[in-house]
Amino acid sequence: MSHAPFDTQAALQAVLASWAERRWLRPLDAAFADFLWREVPDAPPFLILAAALASHQLGRGHACLDLAATLQAPALALSLPPEGEEGRDVLATTEPPPLPAEVLAGWSLDRWQAALDHPLLVGCGAGDTPLVRVGPRLYLRRYWQYEQDVHRAIERRLARSATLQAALPLDILRPILDGLFPPAAAGEAGASWQKMACALAACSGFCILTGGPGTGKTTTVVRLLALLQALALAAPLAGEPPRPLRIRLAAPTGKAAARLNESIAGVVTRLSLAGFEQAEAVRAAIPVKVSTLHRLLGNRPDSRHFHHHAGHPLALDVLVIDEASMIDLEMMAAVLAALPASARLILLGDKDQLASVEAGAVLGELCRHARAGRYTPATRDWLAAASGERIDESLVDEAGSALAQTVVMLRHSYRFSAASGIGQLAEAVNAGDAVRVSEVWRHTHADLALLPLDAADETRFAALVIDGAVAGPGANPAPPAGLAQTAFRYGYRHYLTTLSEARPSSVANQNAIDDWARRVLRAHGQFQVLCALRRGPWGVASLNQRIARVLCAAALIPASAGWYPGRPVLVTRNDYGLGLMNGDIGITLALPPAADQETKLRVAFPAGDAGQGIKWILPSRLQAVETAYVLTVHKSQGSEFGHVALVLPATPSPILTRELLYTGITRARAFLTLVMPGPSRLLDVIVQRQVLRASGLLAE
């Protein structure tokens, strides 16, 4: 059906209203367009269209609207209409709205940019206009400012690297590095990237350590902190007495913070410091407590502002942030603003995981060339002198940027062997190689299973979620080589059986009750169902209800709704009063009653510190939780599980990308079951679809 031209206010208002009605646009996007038209009635219609689309893209994680990409492929760039959009059948009797390609037909980039030439609404830099245009990129001003702030703050820190490197005494640095990384412990073929990462970080005000699961990021950062503390105690700044550095550890979410908390404490305890003159002083100076970024900065309720900022910086010398792929543009700007000029910032994360839920893909952009290295000959030579390690010449580039010299990609996986199906699958997905993905599935791997499953197949679905079973020959095979023989493809029966069989008696003391909770929580971590979507038959809400019914029918839980023993819950919003963070998972338990008391329900959460404490919370005090038999892949970031069942939807969706699939795969420590309700070719589509967020953070 043909439509009239859309270059009048009335025509375009009608288009935006129809898109909002169909939920192609958010109410916020449409309201923003209406606001601009009320404020500036003579604004060109295609300026208002661009503003609405810039707001729309922000909601999809893009920092800006890329005008050129939008004109080249409107449906792809904007995801309009959304694949599998809800509500289309409800409005089937109404005339379908025009597609973006129809609205933009006949428009060139020059013509669209000319329409944006309005001094009241669009600026080209600093000012007070609501929109900023930089070449083909259109920003909401606030996000342009965030991008500028991040870019400049990183450049300032990179500029300090030459000074720090010149002041670093190699005669002290080299022996410390050799002590932390003895040849026998390197465990890598070729150069020790862990050792080189520590050397580069020691001479940088800004450093990134990226790598896939099991590449030793936590181990490396602990050795790096030992190195920095040893240097501070052995070679203090001129005129200053020796003192340990003030180091803080942080992560974007409570779950990620708790996980780092647990892992880093163990690494610090086991760290060999033989030969160090002040070994115990160095060990004592390595922190093990991890906080969320919100708590570190001091969030103010109902405000975008923090207690710590440029005018009131953090009191620290080094800040380490784990799971940095989850940091959005706004939060990164806040972190950098709150750092003292002399402080070091060290980011840890997997550049190939999902980007932040909010706008921006900061870590991914900063690590754009991590695999290629692009180290300058000067960096190569300095690393050889400082660490004894030599970078392969294929990773050397005369034109390497200052940023490239501070990014290190850890390349050796200690978790997945060369024979691991999970490792091979993750690598193939990450490379976008659909052919290799198919080859992985054609070979038999003990740690992989592909389960075709339609919505009506309750038998195989129940077998999977109850016992982790994969129907057909070879169900629950022996564990992969290299794993403990006790490894097993568990389902949810495991933690529910642990809950009932390990339940303490009515006379048990608190220590025994806490130990029971720890056992249940550990058992629960052996299996987790993940999915891509929140809605629909293969979304988190429907699957949680379905699994609860299955477990109830099997008499493993007493009810399928409300509060009941065995219900796992996910915290969806930070609750500083209770000490719970977004992403925390707890299990509902019925406390053993005393002789004259009724059974009491409490939700047990890991305390989230370096110890093994348990936090007991009344269900009535939990205001922002949801059942957690199923998590979205986004919510699972920062977590790992023994066996992961990754459920894909039956039809394509914009959210199904290579990054999502890779992130879901790498949540599995020992076993992965990929559940495919739809056609197998959907996997090829996902593998070849990459998240490309519009941004100008590293634009020339």
- Note the pLDDT tens digit of each residue in 64-94: 999 999 999 898 888 888 765 544 444 444 6
pLDDT digit string, tens, across residues 238-272: 556 678 899 999 988 777 777 787 788 888 888 88
Q: What pLDDT, on a 0 to 100 scale, did the predictor assign at position 91?
A: 47
Q: Provide the β-strand partners of residue 451.
A: 675
CB 161 within 8 A of CB 406: yes
Q: What is the band of 343 on the pLDDT scale with cuts at 50, 70, 90?
A: very high
Q: What pLDDT, on a 0 to 100 scale, did the predictor assign at position 697?
A: 81
Does residue 612 lie within any of the structural domains?
Answer: no
Same domain (yes/no): 428, 286: no
Same domain (yes/no): 381, 516: no
Phi, psi of 647 (to 5 degrees): -100, 120
Is position 218 annotated in a ligand binding site? yes
Q: What is the band of 575 on the pLDDT scale with cuts at 50, 70, 90?
A: confident
Assess whether pLDDT exceeds 60 at residue 330: yes
Query: What's the token pair of residue 432?
Result: 């976008």
Examine the fold and report which residue of 410, 442, 465 is the final residue of a domain before the chain moves on: 410
DSSP 133-181: EETTEEEEHHHHHHHHHHHHHHHHHHHTHHHHHHHS-HHHHHHHHHHHS
Same domain (yes/no): 555, 496: yes
In this structure, the strands spanning 568-571 and 625-627 are: antiparallel
Spatial CB neighbours of 495, under 8 Å, sequence gap ≥ 6: 520, 523, 524, 526, 527, 566, 587
Is position 572 annotated in a ligand binding site? no
CATH number reported for the structural domain that contains residue 469 in this entry:
3.40.50.300
Considering only CA atoms, which of 659, 629, 589 is closest in space to residue 430? 659
Assess whether pLDDT exceeds 80 at residue 473: no
3-class DSSP state for residue 200? helix
Least confident of 97-101, 493-497, 608-612: 608-612
pLDDT digit string, tens, across residues 152-184: 999 999 988 888 888 888 888 888 898 888 875
Phi-psi region of 197 (alpha: psi -120 to 50; beta: other; left: phi over 0): alpha
Assess whether pLDDT exceeds 80 at residue 288: yes
Q: What is the band of 442 on the pLDDT scale with cuts at 50, 70, 90?
A: confident
Considering only CA atoms, which of 391, 375, 314 is closest in space to residue 345? 314
Q: What pLDDT, on a 0 to 100 scale, did the predictor assign at position 599?
A: 72
CB 614 within 8 A of CB 605: yes
pLDDT digit string, tens, across residues 362-418: 888 899 888 888 999 999 999 999 988 899 999 999 999 999 999 999 887 777 767
Q: Count how many domains the chain has.
A: 3
Note down the domain range covering 93: 9-144
The percentage of the chain sitting over the pLDDT mark of 90, rounded to a whole number, equals 41
CB 547 within 8 A of CB 529: yes
Examine the fold and report which residue of 358, 390, 410 is the final residue of a domain before the chain moves on: 410
Other C-beta atoms closer than 10 Å to the C-beta of 169 total: 10
Same domain (yes/no): 27, 127: yes
Q: What pLDDT, on a 0 to 100 scale, did the predictor assign at position 4?
A: 55
Q: What is the band of 119 on the pLDDT scale with cuts at 50, 70, 90?
A: very high
What is the C-alpha to C-alpha distance for residues 220 and 2, in angstroms, rounded to an integer? 61
Q: Provide the β-strand partners of residue 321.
A: 250, 347
Least confident of 185-194, 202-211, 603-612: 185-194
Does residue 95 lie within any of the structural domains?
Answer: yes
Same domain (yes/no): 54, 78: yes
Assess whether pLDDT exceeds 90 at residue 594: no
Instruction: Write out the E strands in 297-404.
Output: 318-321, 344-349
Does residue 615 lie within any of the structural domains?
Answer: no
Q: What pLDDT, on a 0 to 100 scale, did the predictor assign at position 634?
A: 86
Does residue 695 lie within any of the structural domains?
Answer: no
Considering only CA atoms, which of 246, 251, 153 is closest in space to residue 205? 153
CB 610 within 8 A of CB 262: yes
Considering only CA atoms, which of 455, 375, 350 is closest in space to residue 678? 455
Q: What pLDDT, on a 0 to 100 scale, did the predictor assign at position 606?
A: 84
Other C-beta atoms closer than 10 Å to the C-beta of 218 total: 18
Mean pLDDT of 624-644: 89
CATH number reported for the structural domain that contains residue 121 in this entry:
1.10.10.1020
Same domain (yes/no): 85, 196: no
Q: What pLDDT, on a 0 to 100 scale, did the predictor assign at position 595?
A: 52
Does residue 150 lie within any of the structural domains?
Answer: no
Is position 566 annotated in a ligand binding site? no
Considering only CA atoms, which of 457, 439, 368, 423 is closest in space to residue 684? 439
Is position 673 annotated in a ligand binding site? no
Q: What pLDDT, on a 0 to 100 scale, did the predictor assign at position 485?
A: 42
Same domain (yes/no): 35, 96: yes
Query: What's the token pair of residue 120?
Result: 């009241």
Q: What is the band of 639 on the pLDDT scale with cuts at 50, 70, 90?
A: confident
Examine the fold and report which residue of 374, 391, 410 is the final residue of a domain before the chain moves on: 410
Which of 7-16, 213-222, 501-510, 517-526 ranks highest by mean pLDDT? 517-526
Q: What pLDDT, on a 0 to 100 scale, did the predictor assign at position 1?
A: 41
What is the C-alpha to C-alpha distance for residues 649 and 537, in angstroms, rounded to an integer? 8
Same domain (yes/no): 429, 283: no
Q: What pLDDT, on a 0 to 100 scale, did the predictor assign at position 477?
A: 47
pLDDT digit string, tens, across residues 665-699: 999 988 999 998 877 788 888 888 777 787 888 76
Q: State how far Cα 564 lies from the chain centre.
A: 31
Least confident of 403-412, 514-523, 610-619, 653-662: 610-619
Q: What pLDDT, on a 0 to 100 scale, did the predictor assign at position 484?
A: 45
Is position 635 annotated in a ligand binding site? no
Q: What pLDDT, on a 0 to 100 scale, did the predictor assign at position 184?
A: 54
Q: What pLDDT, on a 0 to 100 scale, did the predictor assign at position 333?
A: 94
Is position 216 annotated in a ligand binding site? yes
Assess whether pLDDT exceeds 80 at residue 301: no
The percentage of the chain sitting over the pLDDT mark of 70, rounded to a whole number, equals 91
Mean pLDDT of 111-118: 93
Does residue 255 lie within any of the structural domains?
Answer: yes
Does residue 601 lie within any of the structural domains?
Answer: no
What is the C-alpha to C-alpha distance for residues 657 and 620, in angstroms, rounded to an integer? 38
Considering only CA atoms, which of 421, 451, 321, 372 is closest in space to residue 670? 421
Same domain (yes/no): 400, 442: no
Q: What is the band of 476 on the pLDDT scale with cuts at 50, 70, 90?
A: very low
Please, what is the average pLDDT of the chain?
A: 85
Of 191 and 42, which is predicted with more confidence? 42
Assess whether pLDDT exceeds 50 at residue 610: no
Q: Rounded to a whole number, what is the largest CA-CA distance in the chain?
A: 81
Is position 123 annotated in a ligand binding site? no
Same domain (yes/no): 200, 89: no
Q: What pLDDT, on a 0 to 100 scale, did the predictor assign at position 92?
A: 47
Q: Provide the β-strand partners of residue 604.
A: 587, 616
Same domain (yes/no): 123, 267: no
Assess whether pLDDT exceeds 90 at residue 147: yes
Does residue 349 lie within any of the structural domains?
Answer: yes
Q: Taking each helix axis from N to C terminus, what angle separates 9-21 and 27-39, rounded to the nearest 10 degrees? A: 160
Least confident of 94-103, 112-121, 142-151, 519-528: 94-103
Integer CA distances (angstroms), 354 to 76, 320, 340, 533, 663, in order:
19, 20, 29, 14, 6
Is position 215 annotated in a ligand binding site? yes
Same domain (yes/no): 178, 105: no
Q: How does 425-435 read in b/e, with b if 16+ C-beta sit within 10 Å?
A: bbbbbbeeebe
